[in-house]
């Protein structure tokens, strides 16, 4: 019995490790998401290190693990395959997680994200 539990735990651990290591490295610099309301600066470094997100797919939801994930713009600005507008997508994903997070460093007010 104990052996089976151990084995299950090992397999689960390896599965998690495999996901972590199959991710390519995230861009190290900040990305400016330009919009009429004011530029939003997005940092992969802060999100991967301080927010503790390990899987690219948490945000790059269409990423299948081949090559590099695409910018959200690619589909959400072109409205490809009925992708909702970038504002809807960004607000839902970014603000959604920030609101749920207990981490007070995650901004939820307009001006904390949209800077001139």
Residue 46 touches ligand HEC, criterion: CB under 6 A: yes
105 close to 115: Cβ distance less than 8 angstroms: no
- x/- string (CB under 6 A) for ligand HEC, residues 82-101? xxx-xxxxxxxxxx-xx--x
Query: Strand ranges (DSSP E) for 1-116?
Result: 31-33, 39-42, 114-115
**3-class SS of residue 33:** strand
Whole-angstrom distance, CA of residue 13 vs CA of residue 17: 6
Residue 65 touches ligand HEC, criterion: CB under 6 A: no
Whole-angstrom distance, CA of residue 54 vs CA of residue 48: 6
Cβ nearer to ligand HEC, comparing 11 with 24: 24
Residue 47 touches ligand HEC, criterion: CB under 6 A: yes
Contact set with ligand HEC (CB under 6 A): 23-24, 26-27, 31, 33, 35-37, 40, 42-44, 46-47, 50-51, 53, 56, 58-62, 68-76, 80-84, 86-95, 97-98, 101, 103, 105-110, 112-114
């Amino acid at each position: 019995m104990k052996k089976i539990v151990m084995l299950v735990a090992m397999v689960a651990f390896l599965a998690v490790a495999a996901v972590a290591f199959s991710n390519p490295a995230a861009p190290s610099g900040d990305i400016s998401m330009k919009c009429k309301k004011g530029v939003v600066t997005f940092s992969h470094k802060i999100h991967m290190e301080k927010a503790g997100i390990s899987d690219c797919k948490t945000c790059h939801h269409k990423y299948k693990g081949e090559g590099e994930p695409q910018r959200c713009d690619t589909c959400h600005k072109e409205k490809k395959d009925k992708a909702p507008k970038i504002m809807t997508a960004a607000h839902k994903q970014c603000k959604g997680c920030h609101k749920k997070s207990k981490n007070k460093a995650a901004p939820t007010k307009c001006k904390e994200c949209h800077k001139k």
